[in-house]
Chains A and B, each alone.
Chain A
Amino acid sequence: MMSSNFRAWPLFLLLTVLSLPLVTMYVYLFVDTVTDTTAGSLIPDRFTLQHWRFLWEAPETGRVSIWTVTLNTFVFAICTTLVNVSASVTAGYALSRLNMPFKRFFLGGILTLHAFPTITLIISIFLILQMIGLYNTLIGVILVKTALELPFGIWIMKGFFDNVPWEIEMAGLQDGASRFTVWWKLVLPQVQPGIAALAVFVFLSAWSEFILPQVLAPSGSAQVLSTYLSNLIFDDVKPDFNMFKSVGVFYALPVIVIYLIFNRQLMNIYGGGTKG
């Protein structure tokens, strides 16, 4: 028998009432993508797949295929993750362990940058990208996104490295391994949960990024799903809201899948990033 200090059902009732609007919204977001329900009605009329036609029909002139855009989004998110994680594990280790000049300055700088409202930089970034010819390219957005996410990644990884016992490294050196081998073979495996968490976090963050692609690579072949979605609703003469919802669900699916698979790793970061 489970004993509790209070009855559970009033709480459940309250939570149900409070979350009902949210649940309804999610349910109808999905229902509307496969039906032609008229606005204001709650009863689905018939099943149809025509709102998902963007998946298989050739794009209208002047538009890019959804698959190209999806590929772009994956390239954008994966490259951002790779660059960010590799820079974070090296920089985080250096800040945590190496006796280097200006360490305090770097640490302070990273904290400041982490707290800095990066959106205020967008105009100067725009100008710089135009000047060096990376405007409206995926590489440009990847670089900018990575740079803006990096302080967070470095800080998180430094926290994980701080928790690796010194003795493991000393033992490695004593066993004859070089500093690099020690880092690669002995220290990195200890912070593996941190790496996994950071990678998922950065991937999701890049996947849902809208402002940067919108400003720095708004059109053409460099589009990602978030900008595609927004173009869909802004450009059209007669907006198809149900198709907009379908693209939205399509866009959200990988996030949901990734979150379901990796939610334990993500807890590592949200839990403070202290447990290695």
Chain B
Amino acid sequence: MRISIENFTKSFGDTTVIEDMSLEIGDGEMLALLGPSGCGKSTTLFAICGIHRMNAGRLLFGDADVTEVSSQKRNVGVVFQNYALYPHMNVYENIAFPLKVRKESRAEIDRKVQEIAGLVHIGELLRRRPMQLSGGQQQRVALARALIRKPDILLLDEPLANLDAKLRLEMRSEIRRIQLATGITAVLVTHDQVEAMSMCDRIALMDKGRIVQLSTPKDMYENPSSDFVAGFLGNPPIAFLEGAAANGGFRLANSQVTLPVPSGIDMPGEGAPMRFGVRPEFFQPDNPLKVSGKVSFVETQGREELYDVTLENGAVLRSIQSQSAGFRLGEEVSWGIAQDRILAFGPDGNRL
């Protein structure tokens, strides 16, 4: 079901957390609310499910205005960060609880629980207590409980934050599989850009209560609207070069080196401060636009190696290369930047 948030404002006491935010989430879409902690992403989620009242604005599910509808009547399934399973009930009772509240018949409940337990692969765990389950299993139970009454919308609040690295990978694809299988509209709140990029159709990147950019993962990665977005997405992260506009080019701070700017950008006035963002994969030995420096850090990641190169003026560029490269710490290198992949940002941080 389509979700529309219109001019949403939320404040707690005197602090306004979210001001005049609008967002549209399409039917069957999985959208990530991504941002650093305190950016208002969880507040937005809790407003959608009705735990927080909106101070101003409207919320529509499909064409129905649900701004004033209580949580119980919104038909939204939520998976909480700590799963919030009911510790005194076993898995079966946990999943059946939403149906029990609605006083459905015993046979009907049983059929539905078995069906959803099969979907999330916990059929053999139904008699266990939450305490006797691993993190990943608890996660599946929480998903099953959220999905059992066929909600219009599924909300996931940092669902993978409490899992270890390997399970996180597994549950990432599991949640996406289940979301696609049920065709439900889903909103995922996360601070982890990898989760957001790998699981969702679109990402809304938030900062300080505003949506900074709303776009598909690929587009957001390749065309960030500001240096904040560019810095938030990508692992290993993008490296920034400080400098200023000079003679139609970009002069590095504290240096005589001038680099050409990517084609087709609006240059700011002469001498205005600028930043260049260079992603590690676009700083490689065989690219033409050479800069020289010294390898100051080497990190082996298995399949790849990550190098930090400190330039003469002290700025650091990152490069990620295949294992065979074998550069050593302290080595003087002269590697190249892919000129058309440089992301140039103006004095206000916005993309040029």
Contact = CB atoms under 8 A, between A and B. Distances in A.
A192 B88 CA distance: 10
28 contacts: A167-B82, A167-B83, A168-B84, A168-B86, A170-B51, A170-B78, A170-B80, A170-B84, A171-B84, A172-B97, A173-B51, A173-B72, A174-B49, A174-B71, A174-B77, A174-B78, A174-B146, A175-B97, A175-B101, A175-B145, A176-B72, A176-B98, A177-B97, A177-B101, A181-B101, A189-B86, A189-B88, A190-B87
A165 interface: yes
B173 to A, nearest CB: 25
A193 to B, nearest CB: 11
Interface string B126-155: 000000000000000000011001000000
Contacts, number: 56
Contacts of B82: 165, 167
Interface in B62-99: 71-73, 76-78, 80-84, 86-88, 97-98
A186 interface: yes
A186 B101 contact: no
**Overall SS of chain A's interface:** helix
Given A167-B82, A170-B51, A171-B80, A176 B149 contact: yes
B303 interface: no
Interface in A139-193: 165, 167-168, 170-178, 181, 186, 189-190, 192
B106 interface: no
Contacts of B88: 189-190, 192
B78 A171 contact: yes
A159 B5 CA distance: 38
Contacts of A168: 84, 86
Given A170-B78, A171-B78, A176 B84 contact: no
A177 B72 contact: yes
Contacts of B111: none
Interface of A: 165, 167-168, 170-178, 181, 186, 189-190, 192
Contacts of B166: none
A200 to B, nearest CB: 20
Give the interface size class of chain B: 20 to 34
A170 B50 CA distance: 10
Nearest to A192: B88
Contact of B101 (A176, A189, A192): A176
A186 B88 CA distance: 8
A174 B84 CA distance: 11
B104 to A, nearest CB: 11
Closest A-B pairs by Cβ, 6 of them: A167-B84, A175-B98, A171-B84, A189-B88, A167-B80, A173-B71
A167 B49 CA distance: 13
Interface string B273-286: 00000000000000
Contacts of B51: 170, 173-174
A31 B76 CA distance: 70
Nearest to B74: A174
A94 to B, nearest CB: 19
B72 A165 contact: no
B86 A174 contact: no
B171 to A, nearest CB: 18
Nearest to B151: A174
A174 B149 contact: no
B97 A174 contact: no
A189 B90 CA distance: 13
A176 B145 CA distance: 12
Nearest to A189: B88
Interface string B15-57: 0000000000000000000000000000000000111000000
Given A167-B81, A175-B98, 15 more contacts: A165-B82, A165-B84, A168-B86, A171-B86, A172-B97, A173-B51, A174-B50, A174-B51, A174-B72, A174-B78, A175-B149, A176-B73, A177-B97, A177-B101, A189-B88
Contacts of A190: 87-88
Contacts of A170: 51, 71, 78, 80, 84
Nearest to B145: A175
A173 B52 CA distance: 12
Contacts of B146: 174
B131 to A, nearest CB: 13
A186 B87 CA distance: 9
Contacts of B86: 168, 171-172, 186, 189
Nearest to B73: A176
A189 B129 CA distance: 14
A178 B86 CA distance: 16
Contact of A178 (B72, B81, B84): B72
Contacts of A175: 97-98, 101, 145, 149
A173 B76 CA distance: 10
Contacts of A189: 86, 88
User: Of B72, B83, B98, which is in contact with the most chain A CB atoms at under 10 Å from its CB?
Assistant: B72
A34 to B, nearest CB: 47
Contacts of A186: 86
Contacts of B76: 174
A172 B82 CA distance: 14
B162 to A, nearest CB: 12
Nearest to A175: B98
User: Of A170, A172, A174, A192, which is in contact with the most chain B CB atoms at under 10 Å from its CB?
Assistant: A174
Contacts of B73: 176
